[in-house]
Structure 1
Amino acid sequence: MPVRQEISLSTKIKEIALELYAAAYNGIRTYFRYPMWIISDLITSPLWLLLFIIPMLLFLPPEKWSDPTTYQYFYWGMIFLDVISMALWSFGSAIRWEQQAGTLEYLYLTNASRLVLFATRMCSRLISFTMSALYLALLMTVMFGAQIKVADPLLLLLSLFLSLFTALGFGAIYAALVLKLKQVGPLNNILQYVLIGVSGIFFPVDRLPLELKVLAYLSPFTYCVDLVRAAAMKTTTIMPLWHELALIVLLAVLMNFIGMKILGYIEATVKKTGKLGVY
């Protein structure tokens, strides 16, 4: 009887690294293959900015229009709008597209990590995210005369990394729903704007009514954007800074673990019923 050989930890890490490299390479080459994607990002960014900022300014006192802090809040709100969109559109949409293309079953026949299989879309979104962050900072200066400053760059980079990692776990949970329900558009639109509203993306959650505060404290993105604003603007955090940082690390790990478990369970279920590639 043949003896099963154990794979060493270094070999596993090397295999995962190669898979991630292949996914990143594919995502980057695909993104730059279509110049219209880049052009559309450059065109839609100021439109989204105006869409959100003008109605909000109308409800603010005139003296707030010249306050740099107001535009700092808007800027980091737009950044987190992109983070939430990345969570929803990366994995959920990737599964939907593979279903429609008829290639999902072939992908799921491989033994590659399910997270890696759909990381291609995440890589292209990261490129778009980086471009948008720089481009929006320039637009804030040109359109409103507001300079985006960062108080603690290291803490900001750490908090953005943890926010993206949390979004990755949320995206895996959302992808499981898409795999089961076979729908992506309605869920995206509903979840995206609900999360924007209850997570205090554009304003501190302490300004919300008591009933909505309860929902806000249940959203992981509430703590993520709160930590980012603290790093960039030196705002007061919901809880002590290091407690909030530890909570976000815990949430990021927990959501990725839960997301992969749910995704694996739904995959096994739809395989048994023969509905993996059905859409």
Structure 2
Amino acid sequence: MASLRERSGGGAFELVNKFLAEVWRGFRVSLSRPTSIIINILTSPLWLAFFILTLRGYGVVRIGAFELQLFLWSAYAFALYSSWLWGFGHGIINEGYEGILEYLISSGQGVFLHALGFGVSYSIYTLFDLAALILSFYLIFGLTVTVKYPLILALSIVLAMIQLLMISLIYVLLVIKLRSSWVITDIMQFVMPILGGLIPSEASGYFRDVNMYSPIAYPFILMRESALGVMEIPIPLWLQLTYSLITVVSLSVITYLLSGLFVRRMRVEGRLGLT
């Protein structure tokens, strides 16, 4: 009995060590090109700010503090999707081209643990996106961001990141399995903004209905609602938070099972099929 506990304890310790190693490796990869990171973080919020200034200059719309904050949180939602799907996701796909995933599989390590560790480090990068948005809006518009429910906002951002990590990994597995990225990418580009809660419910009744019934939309709706204090859909915040948590846990389980199946198939086939 003691030896069984020792073996299970040793296995858990080894798993934690592997996870921490992947987190550290992700940090090193993310920070290997600091100039590129800084440019990517600063460019998007500045372009958005200049776009809003152009609208103001031509008198197309009247934009007050509330509208600016709505722009900010909507932009951050789009930045999260873009960063995770195309930045993080394509980073994992490139590892397939470079033989890194094949090496991990042959060494007995799963893709899920590798992506999870990399995702922890990548989440720091996406928080820099938010900081850049807040800073640029303050410098250009004099906007001081106010948050109605800070705890719910923080939880919604964490849930959104975990959800996007899982969706990105499913995207990676599909691309590698089908050996084609453009088909899956085109579908994701059109489907995810609609189903993912990126478009505020105030845009139209259609988007309000979609946001109410799409399970992957809730973290992003919560993000705007908790920041602005305005309810987009007639569902209590605690219930939206519960739905978000259930969705994230379900996606995590599905992604874990799919990645395990993927690893077993790749071991049988002996190749990733990317080249």
Fold shared, TM-score > 0.5 on shorter chain: yes
Judge conservation of contact 1:198–1:216 (CA < 8 Å) in 2.
yes
Contact 1:96–1:184 (Cα < 8 Å) also in 2: no
Q: Which amino acid aligns with 1:115?
A: F
Retained in 1: the 8 A contact 2:194–2:210? no
Aligned partners of 1:237 and 1:209: how far apart in 2?
11
Q: Letter of the aligned partner of 1:23 in structure 2? A: E
Instruction: Quote the residue 1:250 is aligned against.
Output: 246
> Which residue is 2:23 aligned to?
24
> Which runs of 5 or more structure 2 residues have no equivalent in the other structure?
none
Alignment of 1:63-102 (within 5 A): 63=62, 65=63, 67-89=64-86, 92-102=89-99
Q: Which residue of 2 aligns with 1:175?
A: 172
Return the TM-score normalized by structure 2. Answer: 0.83
Distance 1:224 1:19 in 2: 29
- Alpha-carbon separation, structure 1, partners of 2:10 and 2:99: 32
Q: TM-score, normalised by structure 1?
A: 0.82
1:252 CA drift (Å)? 0.3
Q: Is residue 2:147 matched to residue 1:161? A: no
Contact persistence 2:74–2:198 (CA under 8 A)? yes
Q: What's the secondary structure of 2:109's corresponding residue?
A: coil
Give the unaligned 5+ runs of structure 1: none
2:147 to 145, 150, 170: 150
Q: 2:243 is aligned with what amino acid?
A: L
Report the CA distance shift for 1:208/1:274 in structure 2 as closer, same or farther (over 3 A): farther
8 A contact 1:270–1:276 mirrored in 2: yes
Cα deviations by residue, 1:10-57 (Å, 9 ceiling, x for unpaired): 444433322222112112223223222223224422355258757987
Q: Percent identity?
A: 26
Deviates more, 1:247-256 or 1:26-35: 26-35
CA contact (8 A) 2:20 2:117 kept: no
Q: Do residues 35 (structure 1) and 31 (structure 2) align?
A: no
Aligned to 2:222: 227
Q: Distance between the aligned counterparts of 1:229 and 1:164, measured in 2?
A: 15
Q: Does residue 1:272 correspond to 2:268, yes or no?
A: yes
* Structure 2 equivalent of residue 263 of structure 1: 259
Distance 1:51 1:105, change over 3 A: farther
Aligned residue for 1:118, secondary structure, equals helix
**Residue 191 (1) aligns with residue 169 (2):** no
Counterpart contact for 2:200–2:232, Cα < 8 Å: no
Deviation at 1:130, TM superposition (A): 1.5
Q: Say which SS state the counterpart of residue 98 (structure 1) adopts.
A: helix
Describe the shift of the 1:121–1:254 C-alpha distance in structure 2 as closer, same or farther (beyond 3 A).
Answer: same
Q: How many residues align?
A: 272
Alpha-carbon distance, 1:118 to partner: 2.5
> Which string of whole-angstrom CA distances, capped at 9 and with x for unpartnered residues, describes residues 192-247 of structure 1?
4532244342422x53353x556544544421111111221111152111111111
* Equivalent position amino acid for 1:148 in 2: V
**RMSD of aligned alpha carbons:** 3.1
CA distance in 1, matches of 2:58, 2:195: 19
